[in-house]
Amino acid sequence: MTLRPMGYRQRLVDPTITRLLAAVGAISVEGPKWCGKTWTSLNHAESVFYVSDPTNNFANRTLARLDLSLTLEGAQPRAIDEWQEVPAIWDGVRFHVDQNPGAGQFLLTGSSRPTDDATVHSGTGRIARLRMRPMTLVESGDATATISLSGLLSGEPIRTAQGGFTLGRIVQLVIRGGWPGSIDASTENASEIAASYLDSLTHIDISQIDERRRDPEKVIAVLQSLARNTATMVGVSALGRDMASIAGSEPSASTIREYVTLLQRLYVLEQIPAWHPALRSPVRLRQAPKRMLADPSLAVAALRASKDDLQQDPKTLGFIFESLVLRDLLVYAQNLQANLWHYRDDADLEVDAILTMPTGKWAAIEIKLGYPQVDEAAANLLRLRKKLAASGDPPPAAMIVVVGIGAIAQIRDDGVCVVPLDLLGP
């Protein structure tokens, strides 16, 4: 019998947790605050220890620091929530698994990553790391998964179907985001929740991570700049120039790097690495990662954008929509034990996402807000296939355009698959 919370919505990482619990002694479930880590871990746990429980002046935290063994005692799998508040728990779990071999003993949840010197051992072979993100549209019930990425990579035919999203619905989804607590909220309430999340992040979380006070105005300027440049290869110098236009002065490059690193440690900033088609490929690539906030609602909140703002600014909405799709693709890739990358070469040929499977198969994916952009996206994908073929690299198993509004699911005569977002799943 697990501690499954009432009303729990199944998550795509649940089967992965089940698989890992059968293979390793402990799992570290890592991700931004409020993305569902605790509930998902409870769905698999038989007992739980809440490190951050404020009862009796945070007695649990004190107890963990005084006598670590009491933290570990309980029916297994035992969940230890927000372990990073007492970093010694990591080494305690690793040592316990060493001394008591066996799978499925602990589930650690963490919403920030301690510094490298906060723990003594990496936990390799004892603790498996698992990234968790806000809910995808499939998990929230907004997409049907009628068309699967795995099916497209296997060459399965696409059943013709009309996408159902409207511009207004896309706007609602990016404002609401994928936070489990916002799924059933009104658009107005969800907007307030995302704004509150950013307020806590800028005034509390980013300073608590290493107990050093940060200037909230600089933090929000970094977040606003990342939001304005979401899902792009924005670098530190570009962030600095953008922040100067927001805050009136440009922070040093070292300050920007520090804040970017802190946002990564809080799992609020995603970085999608550049893809290398082959080790000896002659294609010259740009190496910078794509950067985006962990959920589109955070970008909307950082920009202080309203429904009307987004509906009247299709360019900004298009970038935020891309980050919505990339968020879901990251989760779908993890579900398939695959990796997600982006592609851009020195000739400025850019493809939004590359999905690579363990088998060596890969898919090239373009993301477009509306159907009129499909021809342009398809041309990009065909250029990439031709370019890689000329250099001797293997072709993609699938070329996919994910569309938000107005698309009909189909395979075009040129082989490009058009998939409405509300039909896409892993």
State pLDDT tens for residues 306-358.
Answer: 999 999 999 999 999 999 999 999 999 999 999 999 999 888 899 999 999 99
Write down the pLDDT at residue 339.
97
* β-bridge partners, 143: none
Q: What is the mean pLDDT of each run of 10 residues along the chain (426 residues)?
A: 88 98 97 97 97 93 94 97 95 95 97 72 83 98 97 94 97 98 96 97 92 89 94 91 82 91 96 83 79 98 97 96 98 97 92 96 98 97 94 93 97 98 98
Strand duo 350-356 + 362-370: pairing = antiparallel
pLDDT in tens, 165-190: 999 999 999 999 999 999 999 999 99
Instruction: Round to whole Å and give the CA distance between 168 and 307.
Output: 8
Mean of the per-residue pLDDT values of the chain: 94
Write down the pLDDT at residue 410.
97
List every span in the chain annotated with CATH 3.40.50.300.
14-131
Which residues, at least 6 apart from 115, have a Cβ–Cβ distance to it below 8 Å? 210
Which residues, at least 6 apart from 39, have a Cβ–Cβ distance to it below 8 Å? 5, 8, 180
Class of domain 14-131: alpha beta
- What would the two tokens of residue 107 be? 């589930």
Task: Find the length of the chain.
Answer: 426
Residue 77: asked if its preceding bond is cis (omega within 30°), the reply is yes
pTM: 0.96
What angle do helix axes 253-265 and 216-228 make, rounded to 10 degrees? 80
Instruction: Round to whole Å and give the CA distance between 331 and 144.
Output: 15
Query: Coil, helix or strand for 224?
Result: helix
Instruction: Round to whole Å and give the CA distance between 394 and 417.
Output: 19
Query: Coil, helix or strand for 387?
Result: helix
Instruction: Round to whole Å and give the CA distance between 26 and 20.
Output: 8
